[in-house]
Amino acid sequence: MPAVLLAIAACAPSETNTAKEETTEGTQSAGETVVMELSGGTVEIALRPDLAPAHVERFTTLVREGFYDGVVFHRVIDGFMAQSGDPTGTGTGGSSYPDLTAEFSDEPFVRGVVGAARSSSPNSANSQFFIMYASASHLNGQYTVFGEVKKGMDVVDKIKKGSPNNNGLVTDPDAIVRMTVAE
């Protein structure tokens, strides 16, 4: 299984725009909705097959298989993003499916956007994803956007943060209780 690392490690929260954040919460989307249950509440993610059909298909396949149930948010950087989707909790794991080809778009990375985590290779996304806490324009066109939080960003904001001295790696991280595709 190829390693899957988020190649945005060098980004510090100070690089994000924290003043009057744009957000996607409450916007409409053309796809299905995934419900992510966390210990602090429920998050609804509107999927964007119009932007990234292969990533949406992979994500919903894994959700339906129960892949994400119990998986931790292993890397969480306050003011930047929360990353999950690695069953090993190390940031190097993925699913048994092959990596995906990048589906970059002009959709900006703003608060609430869900993107595909990857290594330095653009075509290395697999199962890991991240949810933006703030805008990060340097990610635009460099990572695949495949969803947006429709409801529950307040719940995402409560996910346990990692140490800024350790690139956001979280000790005793919060986990996804369960994810389902809304029918």
Q: What span, in angstroms and rounded, lies between the C-alpha atoms of 161 and 116? A: 19
pLDDT of 31: 72
What torsion, rounded to 10 degrees, do the Cα atoms 58, 61, 62, 64 define?
Answer: 160
Q: Which domains are seen in the chain, by residue range?
A: 23-181 (2.40.100.10)
Q: What is the mean pLDDT of the chain?
A: 88
pLDDT of 8: 42
pLDDT for residue 180 is more than 80:
yes
Pairing type for strands 129-132 and 33-38 reads unpaired
Buried b (16+ CB within 10 A) or exposed e, 53-86: ebbbebbbebbeeebbeebbbbbbbebbbbbbbb
Instruction: State the amino acid at position 145 in one-letter form.
Output: V
pLDDT for residue 18 is more than 60:
no
Q: What span, in angstroms and rounded, lies between the C-alpha atoms of 147 and 50? A: 10
Q: Convert the pLDDT of each residue in 120-146 to its tens digit.
A: 999 999 999 999 999 999 999 999 999
pLDDT of 135: 98
pLDDT for residue 7 is more than 80:
no
pLDDT for residue 96 is more than 50:
yes
> Which segments of 9-68 are extended strands (E)?
33-38, 41-47
Whose CA is closest to 31, among 43, 58, 49? 49
Q: Convert the pLDDT of each residue in 48-63 to its tens digit.
A: 999 999 999 999 999 9
Q: Convert the pLDDT of each residue in 101-122 to its tens digit.
A: 999 999 999 999 999 999 999 9
Helix (H) or strand (E) segment spanning residue 131: strand 129-132
pLDDT of 11: 42
C-alpha torsion sign, points 46, 49, 55, 61 = positive
Q: What span, in angstroms and rounded, lies between the C-alpha atoms of 179 and 183? A: 13
If pLDDT is split at 50, 70 and 90, which confidence band does 21 have? very low
